[in-house]
Amino acid sequence: MALADGDDATGMDQFREIFDESARYRPNVGAAAYDQIISLEHLSEADVSGLGIDLGTTNTVVGTPEDGIVLNEPSFMLVREKEPHHALSIGIDARDLVGRNPVGVTPVRPMRDGVIVDLESARAFVTAVIKRAAPSRHYGLRPKGVFAVPAGATSLERRALLEVGHEAGLRKVGLIPEPVAGALGCGINPLEPRAHLVVDIGGGTSEVTAFCFGGMLSHRSCRLAGDELTNALSHYLRTEHNIIVGELTAERVKVGAPETAEGQSLVVEGRDAVTGRARLVTLETEEIVDALRPTAIGIVQTLAECLEDIPAQAIGDVMSEGLLVLGGGSLLRGLSQLLEESFGLPVKTAERPLTCVAEGATACLDHPEVVAAYSD
C-alpha cells in the first residue's frame, strides 16, 4: 500500500489501521529502549505534533502526521565563505547555484554517503529545514522528530545525527533505519513475524536489508549509489564525446533518461574538451542507459550478497512478497531487470520511492514501538 498523491492525511489513517490490526505482532522490547525514544503516553494532545525527516545525500524530505509531506528539497545549503556555518538559503535556491556561484558564496552539501560529514554545517542545515517545515506558530518552539538513518550507519554517525537534531531545536529525537522506514511508508508492518527484503538506492549509499519482527536478519551496503552514477555519466561524456558538463547537467540527464520514451533523445549542453567552446550533444536514451549500466551492475552485485545471510525459512517469505525497491536510484531504467536477474526474486518498485522513507519516519511518531524495536 503506497500513498496516493494528494492523500497524505488519509495515508496517516491507513498507517494507524495497519498497527491497530496487528498489535499482537509487537515484539517485547525492554524499558531501557523506550527511555531513548519518543514516548507519546504522557504528552498532552497539543504536544503530539512532530516531524519525520529523511535527511538524504541528494534530497531532504520532511513530513508531519497532520499534513503529510511538507518539504521536499535538494540537500544543499548556501553559505558565505566568511560564515561557513550560517545558511543563507537551502534547497533548490542553493542547488541552482552549483557551478555558477559568485565569489565569496558557496553551495555545500552537509550530507555525504548518507551521513553527516560536518557537524556545524549539518546543524545549520537542519535548523533551517525545521524552521521552514515547522513554523513555531504550528508546532511550538521545540517539536519532536524521527530521523531516518542508513541501516549501515555506525554508532558514531548515529550519535552525530541525534546531537544535530537536539541542537537544531528538536525536543526529542528518534532514529529509524531507512529501509524499515521506507517499507513502513509503503504500508508494510515491520513488526509482523514475516520477513521482508528492501533495497534502498539513494544518492550516497545503496543498501539492502532483510528484517522481521522488529529485528534485522541481513544487511549489505555500498558507497556506490546515485552520485556515482552521475559521476559515471560525466566521465562517459568526456571520454566518448569530448564534452565537459557540470554536475547539475549530468544529474538532469541521468534523471531525465527514465522519463524519456525509447527512441527519443536528450540534448546535453557543456564545454568542448578540446576547443573550450560551448557545445551541444544529442544522446539517445539507450546510450545513456548503457553508460550507466556498469556502475548499476556493480551496485546490484554487491547488494545481492545479502541473500547469503538470510535464513532459509525466511527466503519463502521474500519469494512470495518480492523485493521492494525505493530511493531515487529505483527510477533508473533497466534497474528492476538487473535486480531480478541478480536476486532471482520478483521486484516491486515503491509507488512513491522519493518520499516513502519520510512517510515511514512520520508514521513512527504515532508508533514509538517501531523505533524501540530497531533502536539497537
- Compute the residue count for the chain: 376
For the chain, list residues with pLDDT below 70. Answer: 1-48, 136-141, 262-263
Q: What is the predicted pLDDT for the residue at 136?
A: 62
Q: Is it true that domain 8-68+128-186+351-373 has CATH number 3.30.420?
A: yes
Task: Name the CATH superfamily, with its identifier, for domain 191-349.
Answer: ATPase, nucleotide binding domain (3.30.420.40)
Which residues in the chain are classed under CATH 3.30.420.40? 191-349
Q: What is the predicted pLDDT for the residue at 134?
A: 82
Chain center to CA of 57: 8
- For 148, the grid coordinates are 531516518
DSSP percent split of the chain into helix, strand, coil, nearest 5: 45, 25, 35
Spatial separation of the C-alpha atoms in residues 125 and 130, rounded to whole Å = 9
Q: What is the predicted pLDDT for the residue at 36?
A: 38
β-pairing verdict for 173-177 and 115-116: unpaired
What is the pTM (predicted TM-score) of this model? 0.87
Contact, 199 vs 324, CB < 8 A?
yes
Provide the β-strand partners of residue 211.
Answer: 196, 216
Spatial separation of the C-alpha atoms in residues 16 and 222, rounded to whole Å = 33
Q: What is the predicted pLDDT for the residue at 257?
A: 81
Q: What is the predicted pLDDT for the residue at 343?
A: 94
Choose among 40, 26, 49: nearest CA to 368.
40
φ, ψ at 352 (rounded to 5°): -130, 70
Residue-wise pLDDT for 62-100, tens only, equals: 999 999 999 999 999 999 999 999 999 999 999 999 999
Contact, 26 vs 191, CB < 8 A?
yes
CB count within 10 Å of CB 318 equals 22
Spatial separation of the C-alpha atoms in residues 127 and 316, rounded to whole Å = 44
Contact, 363 vs 188, CB < 8 A?
no
Spatial separation of the C-alpha atoms in residues 244 and 276, rounded to whole Å = 9
Spatial separation of the C-alpha atoms in residues 143 and 132, rounded to whole Å = 13
